[in-house]
Structure 1
Amino acid sequence: MVEQTAIVTGASRGIGAAIAAELARRGWHVIVNYRRDAAAAASVVTAISDAGGSATAIAADVTDQDAVTALVAAVKADRGRIDALVVNANTAPPPFASLAELAWSDFAAKVTGELAGAFHITRQAVEVMRAQGAGRLVFIGSTAADYVGGGRLAHGTAKAALATFARHVAAETARDGISVLTVAPGAVRTDATAAVLDAAREKVLTDNSVLHRVLEPADVAAAVGLALDPALHPATGTVLRLDAGWSVLAGGPTA
């Protein structure tokens, strides 16, 4: 059986690193994409290798079309195919600010960065998958696309746009054997969220969730692993929400 290959963008740390490790554990060869931190990406590859998995680190700024072209060409040359793409890279830190506080330049950078980071890699991966007659795309979204929270204007708008992009891609690629799913986590405890997920905010979230906790990167990784199961191929153009049951209890999110 040919070992399947998955590209995970932004996989040198946090959620992306956890996804890479989970897919490798499930038998995938993982392309650990990163933008700058070669040492961190190498550490992810080493951890996967030490655990008996298979991975390769490739640098590319996924908002840059030429960089993406080089990335896809390298994967095709080495692996011959792309079976799955996980669009995870956080291309621009979300500015947590209200409309009155938010500069247009920061808002635009977040929204356009999010979409550029999805557009170029998706477009080129889809070309490869169409030629194969099969493939799976997973976009890492956010429950902020649907639920309003203080200071999340830019982040929520960017993730809502990403989810809409994913639905359109699903419609355009269904007859090519390509399936698309958006995994939308709620609050996830990572180094990147440490500044905003303080003790007070975490208490609000845990007190108002069915599972009484926030998510860990491993929770998101496990969901992505399940999303790549062929049995979920019919779940295309949909959103899988992971929020520890917070939306079950929250009538109007304010955290």
Structure 2
Amino acid sequence: MIVNYLSNSEAAAVVVKDIESAGGTAQAVRADVCDAGQVGTLVDGVLAEHGRVDVLVCNANTAAPPYGAFASLPWESFAAKLTGELAGVYFLTQRVLAAMRERRAGRIVYVSSTAADVITGSIAHSTATAALNTFSRQIAAEAARYGVAANTVASGAANTDATAFFPDAIRQYFGERSVHGRLPEPEDVGRLIALVADDGFAGATGQVIRADDGFNLLTQQLDGPAARFGGSAGQD
């Protein structure tokens, strides 16, 4: 397994160690996936050493998205978020899919966000993740005839460094709308990604699978019309 990283070699080393502890083999390789030349070098090296790419997981993180009203959002910030979200998947997919098509086999998993459904306060992030979801479906349609499946796992807010600043009230809000009663852990999302990447999921392609711990459904139940009228979803 190849663990790509851009700047945090220590975190990449931890991931490699975890994979090896679980009985796998892995190596960390540095490359900026938003740079076409570095992606070409990365993929060529993998193909030269291993002969093929069975699964590609596109999970590169970008800088924190700009939040706020559209009226005060500079184009440069908006464009930077779109580029950061899409450039890496574009270059990686274009290079890896060519090799998968030749073998007529492969799995691609894109990691997106349920922010694609958010309609206030995060126009750059929401637009970028919605674009990624559409990109994934387009790739799935184009690649299916070559035996390659492409799906997206859309993660909700999880217990990561990006949410470490959440106050207790926000954590409680998410916890009340979670099947686990808490923010999902990265491992919760990771297990779903592994499932989608497995051959057992071969019959599905072009799907956007929510990994939000039930947040969307439970929010409708707790905050939707039934709650406002004093009832709850599923009750007569």
TM-score, L = length of structure 1: 0.82
Equivalent in 34, 43, 53 of residue 72 of structure 1 = 43
- What letter is aligned with 1:89? A
Structure-1 separation of matches of 2:131 and 2:31 = 23
Q: Quick check: 1:170 aligned with 2:140?
A: yes
Equivalent in 7, 13, 26 of residue 55 of structure 1 = 26
Post-superposition offset of 1:43: 2.9
Structure-1 separation of matches of 2:222 and 2:155 = 15
User: Residue 93 of structure 2 aligns to a residue in which SS?
Assistant: helix
Q: Corresponding residue for 1:93?
A: 64
- What letter is aligned with 1:46? K
- What letter is aligned with 1:247? N
Post-superposition offset of 1:253: 10
User: Residue 96 of structure 1 aligns to a residue in which SS?
Assistant: coil
Post-superposition offset of 1:213: 2.0
TM-aligned CA distance change 1:219 to 1:210, over 3 Å: closer
Q: What stretches of structure 1 of length at least 5 have no aligned partner?
A: 1-29
Equivalent in 149, 154, 175 of residue 206 of structure 1 = 175
Q: Corresponding residue for 1:247?
A: 216
Structure-2 separation of matches of 1:234 and 1:198 = 41
Equivalent in 85, 90, 96 of residue 119 of structure 1 = 90
Q: What stretches of structure 2 of length at least 5 have no aligned partner?
A: 224-236
Post-superposition offset of 1:250: 2.0
- Kept after mapping to 2: 8 A contact 1:209/1:248: no
User: Residue 151 of structure 1 aligns to a residue in which SS?
Assistant: coil
Question: What percent identity do the matched residue pairs reach?
Answer: 48
Structure-2 separation of matches of 1:59 and 1:223 = 25
- What letter is aligned with 2:139? V
Structure-2 separation of matches of 1:52 and 1:211 = 29
Structure-2 separation of matches of 1:49 and 1:123 = 29
- What letter is aligned with 2:106? G
Structure-2 separation of matches of 1:242 and 1:37 = 25
TM-aligned CA distance change 1:160 to 1:108, over 3 Å: same
- Kept after mapping to 2: 8 A contact 1:141/1:182: yes
Post-superposition offset of 1:252: 9.8
How many residues get paired? 223
User: Residue 57 of structure 1 aligns to a residue in which SS?
Assistant: strand
Structure-1 separation of matches of 2:62 and 2:118 = 22
User: Residue 86 of structure 1 aligns to a residue in which SS?
Assistant: strand
User: Residue 32 of structure 2 aligns to a residue in which SS?
Assistant: coil
Structure-2 separation of matches of 1:102 and 1:201 = 25
Q: Which has the higher helix share?
A: 2
TM-aligned CA distance change 1:39 to 1:213, over 3 Å: closer
- What letter is aligned with 1:52? G
Q: Corresponding residue for 1:81?
A: 52
Q: Corresponding residue for 2:228?
A: none
Structure-1 separation of matches of 2:23 and 2:202 = 27
Q: Quick check: 1:222 aligned with 2:191?
A: yes
Structure-1 separation of matches of 2:122 and 2:159 = 17
Bigger Rg, structure 1 or 2: 2
Structure-2 separation of matches of 1:248 and 1:238 = 18
TM-aligned CA distance change 1:177 to 1:252, over 3 Å: same
Render the CA deviation track for 1:167-222: whole Å, top value 9, x for unaligned: 00000000000001100111111012223x33222222222334422211001110
